[in-house]
C-alpha cells in the first residue's frame, strides 16, 4: 500500500547523547583510515554530526551514517549526538535507504537504484521520495531515468567515464544507439550542452526520416490503388520502398487477357 507524504513525514524522534559503545553498527567499516581521519578533521570545523539510530529491544541500532560513526571512533570521541527513532523493520529499512541518499556520498547510479527501491519495494510515489530525500520531484524523476539506459551506458556511468548529466541526454536515444552516442560524447569531450545538441540533431533527423517514410508509404498506397483500378484485379506489394515485388492476381483467362491488353495500351502510349 502506498503511504502518503504526510504519514511519512510525521516521524517522531528524541534527541539524546549516547556513549558510542552503546550504538550498534551492523555494517563493517569499508573505509580506509586516511578517509576516516580526513572526515574526522572536518568535525573540528563543522561540529560533530548527529547520527540516526533505531531503538530496538533496548539496543540503539545505527540507521545510516556509517562513515560518520567510524570517523567519530577514529577521532577519539566517546559520545555522539543522536536522533532516536522507534521503527518497525520495514520502516527502519525505508528510512535507512532515504538517509543514505540524503548523505550525498553515492554515485548517481547508486542513488537511482535506491530511489527505485523506495518506489518499487516500499510503494512510495516519486513526490514522497523527493520529500524524504530532500531532492526536487524533477531531480528524482531524472535520476530514475538513468536506469532506463542500456546496460553498457550504465557501466560507463559506474566506471566514471560518463557523467550522470551527460548520460541523461541519451535517455531519448534508441537503446541500440546509446552506447555509440556515449562513446562519441566521451571521445569528443562534449559538454552536457553539446551532448544535448547532438542528440537533438539526431532525433530531429530521425523524425524527418520517419515523416518522409510515412509520406512515401502513402504514395505507394495510392499507386497500388491506381493499379487495382486499372487492372480490376487484386494488387499486392511484397517488400519495401527500396526492394520487392508487385503482384497482380488473376482468376481466369479473361482476367489475364484484360491485363495483357492493358500492358499493350501502355506500350503503345510509350
d(Cα 254, Cα 238) in Å, to the nearest integer?
25
Q: What is the pLDDT of residue 210?
A: 67
pTM of the model: 0.66
Backbone angles phi, psi at 37, to 5 degrees: -65, -40
CA–CA separation, 115 and 167 (whole Å): 17
Across the chain, what does the average pLDDT equal? 86
pLDDT in tens, 6-30: 455 567 888 999 999 999 988 787 8
Question: Is it the case that residue 247 has pLDDT exceeding 80?
Answer: yes
Q: What angle do CA 195, 199, 203 make, to 5 degrees?
A: 170
Separation CA 190–CA 184 (nearest Å): 8
222 Cβ partners below 8 Å, 6+ apart? Answer: none
What pLDDT digit, counting tens, does each position of 79-130 carry?
Answer: 999 999 988 888 888 988 998 898 888 889 999 999 999 999 988 999 999 9
CA distance 14 to 98: 19
Whether domain 5-127 has CATH 3.40.640.10: the reply is no
What's the pLDDT tens digit per position in 126-142?
999 998 888 999 999 99
Q: What is the pLDDT confidence band of residue 237, given thresholds at 50, 70 and 90?
A: confident
Amino acid at each position: 500500500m502506498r503511504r502518503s507524504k504526510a504519514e511519512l513525514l510525521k516521524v517522531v524522534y528524541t534527541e539524546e547523547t549516547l556513549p558510542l559503545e552503546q550504538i550498534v553498527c551492523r555494517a563493517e567499516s569499508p573505509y580506509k583510515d586516511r578517509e576516516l581521519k580526513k572526515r574526522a578533521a572536518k568535525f573540528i570545523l563543522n561540529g560533530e554530526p548527529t547520527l540516526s539510530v533505531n531503538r530496538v529491544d533496548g539496543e540503539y541500532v545505527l540507521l545510516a551514517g556509517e562513515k560518520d560513526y567510524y570517523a567519530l571512533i577514529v577521532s577519539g570521541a566517546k559520545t555522539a549526538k543522536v536522533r532516536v527513532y522507534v521503527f518497525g523493520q520495514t520502516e527502519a529499512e525505508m528510512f535507512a535507504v532515504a538517509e543514505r541518499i540524503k548523505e550525498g556520498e553515492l554515485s548517481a547510479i547508486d542513488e537511482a537504484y535506491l530511489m527505485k527501491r523506495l518506489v518499487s519495494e516500499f510503494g512510495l510515489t516519486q513526490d514522497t521520495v523527493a520529500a524524504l530525500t530532500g531532492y526536487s520531484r524533477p531531480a528524482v524523476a531524472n535520476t530514475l531515468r538513468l536506469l532506463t539506459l542500456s546496460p553498457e551506458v550504465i557501466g560507463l556511468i559506474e566506471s566514471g567515464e560518463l557523467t550522470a548529466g551527460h548520460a541523461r541526454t541519451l535517455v531519448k536515444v534508441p537503446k541500440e544507439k546509446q552506447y555509440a552516442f556515449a562513446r562519441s560524447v566521451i571521445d569528443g569531450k562534449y559538454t552536457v550542452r553539446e551532448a544535448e545538441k547532438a542528440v537533438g540533431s539526431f532525433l530531429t533527423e530521425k523524425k524527418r526520416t520517419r515523416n518522409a517514410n510515412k509520406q512515401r508509404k502513402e504514395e505507394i498506397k495510392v499507386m497500388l490503388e491506381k493499379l487495382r483500378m486499372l487492372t480490376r484485379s487484386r494488387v499486392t506489394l511484397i517488400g519495401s520502398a527500396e526492394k520487392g515485388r508487385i503482384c497482380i492476381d488473376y482468376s481466369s483467362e479473361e482476367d489475364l487477357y484484360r491485363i495483357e491488353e492493358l500492358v499493350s495500351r501502355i506500350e503503345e502510349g510509350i
